[in-house]
Amino acid sequence: MDTNNIKWEELSFDYIKTDKRYIARWKDGKWDNGSLVEDNKIAISEASTGLHYGQQCFEGLKAYRTKEDKIQLFRPDRNSSRLNDSCRRVLMPEVPEEMFIDACKQVIKANERFVPPYGTGATLYLRPFVIGVGDNLGVKPAPEFLFIIFCVPVGPYFKGGMAPVNFMLSDYDRAAPAGTGAAKVGGNYAGSMMPHQVAVDRGFADCIYLDPTTHTKIEEVGAANFFGITKDNKFVTPSSASILPSITKYSLLHVAKEYLGMETEERDCLVDNLDEFVEAGACGTAAVITPIGGIEVKGSLHVFHSETEVGPVTKKLYDTLTGIQFGEVEGPEGWIVLVD
Ligand SMILES: Cc1ncc(COP(=O)(O)O)c(C=O)c1O
């Protein structure tokens, strides 16, 4: 593929085969050294646990090109530790942090021509995953595992600039109270495709999942975490054992407190008390922040700041965090890892 013809700003979140991917195999109790390969297909046993029992997990993080033409990763240590949390939850071997970050760097360097230019808003998305493979029939951990990272250039989430979108509440649960909601395992996403489609068919961007025990508290906004800004300028985000701990969310909590001087709270966000928020948003690696225009509750749309305009605090949070990611704003110690 000739990268000179890529219109970086117009790229969406679609698969493009890049030059090289990293693959390591776990066998007899240890990972091999791993290597870069050209082939984007993997041959695995038809009896792999990853295919039948969902014994797998994945991550998503981005590499950014800076104004000085350096390439940097944003908090890859957090993706590494979340991957290992997910691995433990589905009885897979952990990937040492050093191996994880080194593999990310190898993949970026081997695909450097796919790292979008600074100023386009586009990034190189990395997709690390671990999957149980090998001959196995019963519901038990696989005899072997693969750890793979591939990468795809992706465009800015909002093409014409950030804009609010509306959401509906889902009648379906994304996770069980003590289930796998806090792990980034594929099964959580298989179960979300139908509720997502229901929301899209009704004209919403996606659905909001409530807590699986009482159905009164906001948990996740599609595949992103929720936050709200209160009338007295607090950054509030739900706390629950069944939410995926978003790295963007924890970064925004820090940015709100340390860069914008706001108070922050992790606590219940009741669907019956949305009036407490003057702005609301969804946060995750893909879009960083998706401003929430309104949420449909009991047949009517509860609008926060505006259905068309982005709220001022949401904008500041977005600008500061993306500024750190693209190297325009100095980040807290350890957040930025240079790929050199
Ligand atoms: C279910 C879910 N919630 C939240 C997030 C946001 O997490 P992060 O900010 O680490 O991308 C993601 C994406 O990874 C997700 O899949």
SS (H, E, C) the chain: CCHHHCCHHHCCCCCCCCCCEEEEEEECCEECCCEEECCCCCCCCCCCHHHHCCCEEECCEEEEECCCCCEEEECHHHHHHHHHHHHHHCCCCCCCHHHHHHHHHHHHHHCHHHCCCCCCCCEEEEEEEEEEECCCCCCCCCCEEEEEEEEEEECCCCCCCCCCEEEEECCCCCCCCCCCCCCCCHHHHHHHHHHHHHHHHCCCCEEEEECCCCCCEEEEECCCEEEEEECCCEEEECCCCCCCCCHHHHHHHHHHHHHCCCEEEECCCEHHHHHHEEEEEEEECCCEEEEEEEEEECCEEEECCCCCCCCHHHHHHHHHHHHHHCCCCCCCCCCEEECC
**Which of ligand 1's atoms lies nearest the C-alpha of 248?**
9
What letters, b where the CB count within 10 A reaches 16 and e where it falls short, cover 160-184? eebebbbbbbbeebbbeeebbbbbb
Q: Report whether 294 contacts 281 (CB < 8 A).
A: no
Residue 59: its pLDDT value, please? 98
Residue 329: its pLDDT value, please? 98
Cα four-point dihedral sign 324, 63, 81, 53: positive
Share of the chain above pLDDT 90, in %: 98
Residue 100: its pLDDT value, please? 98
Pairing of strands 123-133, 30-31: unpaired
pTM of the predicted protein model:
0.98
The model's pLDDT over 106-155, given as tens digits with 9 standing for 90+, comes to: 999 999 999 999 999 999 999 999 999 999 999 999 999 999 999 999 99
The model's pLDDT over 87-115, given as tens digits with 9 standing for 90+, comes to: 999 999 999 999 999 999 999 999 999 99
**Which of ligand 1's atoms lies nearest the C-alpha of 78?**
10
Residue with tokens 């991550």, as numbered in its chain = 59
Atom 16, ligand 1: residue with shortest CA distance: 223
Residue 238: pLDDT over 90 = yes
Residue 202: its pLDDT value, please? 98
CB atoms within 10 A of CB 196: 18
Residue 11: its pLDDT value, please? 97
Residue 161: its pLDDT value, please? 85
CB atoms within 10 A of CB 61: 24
* Span 156-169, average pLDDT: 92
Q: Is the CB of 225 under 6 A from ligand 1?
A: yes
Q: Is the CB of 247 under 6 A from ligand 1?
A: yes
Confidence of residue 180 (pLDDT cuts 50, 70, 90): very high
Residue 160: its pLDDT value, please? 80
Residue 159: pLDDT over 90 = no
The model's pLDDT over 23-45, given as tens digits with 9 standing for 90+, comes to: 999 999 999 999 999 999 999 99
Interval between CA 223 and ligand 1 midpoint (Å)? 6
Residue 1: its pLDDT value, please? 85
The model's pLDDT over 282-333, given as tens digits with 9 standing for 90+, comes to: 999 999 999 999 999 999 999 999 999 999 999 999 999 999 999 999 999 9
Q: Is the CB of 221 under 6 A from ligand 1?
A: no
Confidence of residue 12 (pLDDT cuts 50, 70, 90): very high
Q: Report whether 106 contacts 22 (CB < 8 A).
A: yes
Q: Which residues pair with 23 in a beta bridge?
A: 35, 148
Q: Is the CB of 223 under 6 A from ligand 1?
A: yes
Residue with tokens 């605090």, as numbered in its chain = 313
Interval between CA 284 and ligand 1 midpoint (Å)? 5
Q: Is the CB of 206 under 6 A from ligand 1?
A: no
Residue with tokens 């997709």, as numbered in its chain = 127
Q: Which two tokens stand for residue 60?
A: 């998503």
Task: Give the mean pLDDT of the chain.
Answer: 97
Share of the chain above pLDDT 70, in %: 100
Q: Is the CB of 220 under 6 A from ligand 1?
A: yes
Interval between CA 19 and ligand 1 midpoint (Å)? 26
**Which of ligand 1's atoms lies nearest the C-alpha of 174?**
1
Interval between CA 192 and ligand 1 midpoint (Å)? 13
**Which of ligand 1's atoms lies nearest the C-alpha of 188?**
1
Tell me how many degrees the CA angle 130-155-289 measures, rounded to the nearest 5: 80
323/325 Cα distance (integer angstroms): 5
**Which of ligand 1's atoms lies nearest the C-alpha of 244?**
3
